[in-house]
Chain A
Amino acid sequence: DTEVTQTPKHLVMGMTNKKSLKCEQHMGHRAMYWYKQKAKKPPELMFVYSYEKLSINESVPSRFSPECPNSSLLNLHLHALQPEDSALYLCASSRGTGDYEQYFGPGTRLTVT
């Protein structure tokens, strides 16, 4: 199984809502990532988890809160977002944080109204 799954596929939320994005992989990968991608732009790294510990936070605003409950799951908790946070949120995983390819999930298309 070389699949990374993400739910939901689409999400519309108001600026006062709290929601969560979920990501799951069953490849035994020990590194998991959250990326944000705006239209016609490359993926922009937000967070890296290595062995379930947060190892990189790319100065992401605190309204985004990641969580790694176990080695297969990664969540992104959203609170008080702004319209400019509307984007495609991609989860990825890899065997480790070294020279390994990343497997991306299909993404969650988020719209903040």
Chain B
Amino acid sequence: GQQVMQIPQYQHVQEGEDFTTYCNSSTTLSNIQWYKQRPGGHPVFLIQLVKSGEVKKQKRLTFQFGEAKKNSSLHITATQTTDVGTYFCAGRGGSNYKLTFGKGTLLTVNP
């Protein structure tokens, strides 16, 4: 079945440092979505990427979808304490209804 690997599992940074999390799929994806879950909270949708090589930006967050549509990354520039949480990628392959979530990257930020 479809698998989505995500690294790193944990990342601790000093406030102001950059942060990147990476996702790799075992199969070609029709789309990839990114979610953020604050401690004690629920996943909140951040963005969806659909096109090969797509890059989208939201303020300090940059999302990329690989040319082969099998990998993706989320980069945060100059982290803030409000960025703390677990970032999940989730991919869907072909006609499969199911979103397969990566294991998530827990980001902690030292003020």
List residues of chain A with CB under 8 Å of any chain B CB: 31, 40-45, 48, 50, 55-56, 58, 90, 97, 99, 101-107
- Determine whether B103 belongs to the interface, using a CB cutoff of 8 Å to chain A: yes
Q: How far is the CA of A10 from the CA of B101 in the complex (A)?
A: 25
Which residues of chain A are near B42, meaning CB under 8 Å? 90, 104-107
Given known contacts A104-B42, A104-B43, what 18 new A-B pairs fall within 8 Å (CB)?
Answer: A31-B97, A40-B106, A41-B103, A41-B104, A42-B88, A42-B102, A42-B103, A43-B88, A45-B98, A45-B99, A50-B97, A58-B98, A99-B30, A99-B48, A101-B33, A102-B33, A102-B43, A104-B35
Contact B98 A101 (CB under 8 A): no
Number of interface residues of B (CB under 8 A): 21
Contact A104 B44 (CB under 8 A): yes
- Determine whether B111 belongs to the interface, using a CB cutoff of 8 Å to chain A: no
Give chain A nearest CB distance to B1 CB in angstroms: 11
Give chain B nearest CB distance to A50 CB in angstroms: 7
Q: A42-B88, A90-B43, A102-B45 are in contact. Are A97 and B97 (CB under 8 A)?
A: yes
Q: How far is the CA of A55 from the CA of B96 in the complex (A)?
A: 11
Q: How far is the CA of A106 from the CA of B44 in the complex (A)?
A: 10
Contact B101 A101 (CB under 8 A): no
Chain A interface, >50% SS class? loop
Q: Which residue of A lies closest to B9 (CB)?
A: A40
Q: How far is the CA of A102 from the CA of B31 in the complex (A)?
A: 13
- Determine whether B70 belongs to the interface, using a CB cutoff of 8 Å to chain A: no
Q: Which residue of B lies closest to A2 (CB)?
A: B45
Which residues of chain A are near B106, meaning CB under 8 Å? 40
- Determine whether B92 belongs to the interface, using a CB cutoff of 8 Å to chain A: yes
